[in-house]
Amino acid sequence: MTIRVATAADAQYADLLCQWYIESAKQRGTGIAKREPEYVKAKMLQGNAVIAFVDDKLAGFCYIETFESGKFVANSGLVVNTELRKHGLGRAIKREIFRLSRTKYPDAKIFGITTSLAVMKINSDLGYKPVTFSELTTSEDFWKGCKSCKNFGILTENERKICLCTGMVYDDITAPPPPEEL
């Protein structure tokens, strides 16, 4: 298994990754925001993504979004090839995107929203704490990303205070990085 910061050469995988997001949303039956290939490519070009391979085959991906001038950093878009799930790859990818976030934005609050119990467990192991949405970024750019999620109506009906997602934040900037194995 190889997990590394994505580069411009990885842009060739953007269409496939976006297809994986769609398939994952259908399989789970939960809300997952749609991503466009150009957006995924931009994350790769900025050095704000990690990509994983198993036996030289694309295995997974996750990226960083920044808000409020780097005060908040979201680790978003975790996706793992369906054939390779349940073997710790998602956990390893999340650990690497977390490390990249801490390296590039050491003073930021790292956060995410998810409906996935597995992602909540990984985030908790990394030191994230569940929070109300009022403790997340107020950036309109972040919240407009939720528009393509099937649960967007729930979010807007509740004035961005409640949704089916759980918000989680890591804000202990003095803590050491996570151990190699969680």
Greater model confidence, 178 or 95: 95
Q: Name the percent of the chain lying above pLDDT 70.
A: 90
Q: In terms of residues, how long is the chain?
A: 182
In eight-state DSSP terms, residue 45 is H
Which band of pLDDT confidence, cut at 50, 70 and 90, is reported for residue 123?
confident
Question: Is the pLDDT at 152 greater than 80, yes or no?
Answer: no
Question: Per-residue pLDDT for 182 more than 60?
Answer: no
Angle at 55 between CA 50 and CA 59, to 5 degrees: 40
Range 102-117 average pLDDT: 88
- For the cut 60, the answer to whether the pLDDT of residue 31 exceeds it is no
Distance CA 90, CA 5 (A): 15
Which has the closest alpha carbon to 169: 130, 115, 139, 134? 130
What is the residue type of 126?
Answer: L
Q: How confident is the model at residue 59 (pLDDT cuts 50, 70, 90)?
A: very high
Average pLDDT over residues 57-75: 93
Is pLDDT of 125 > 70?
yes
Q: What is the pLDDT of residue 27?
A: 72
Average pLDDT value for the chain = 86
Q: Does 84 have pLDDT greater than 70?
A: yes
Query: DSSP string covering 155-172, please?
Result: HHHTTTS--SSEEEEE--
Residue 53's pLDDT band, with cuts at 50, 70 and 90, is very high
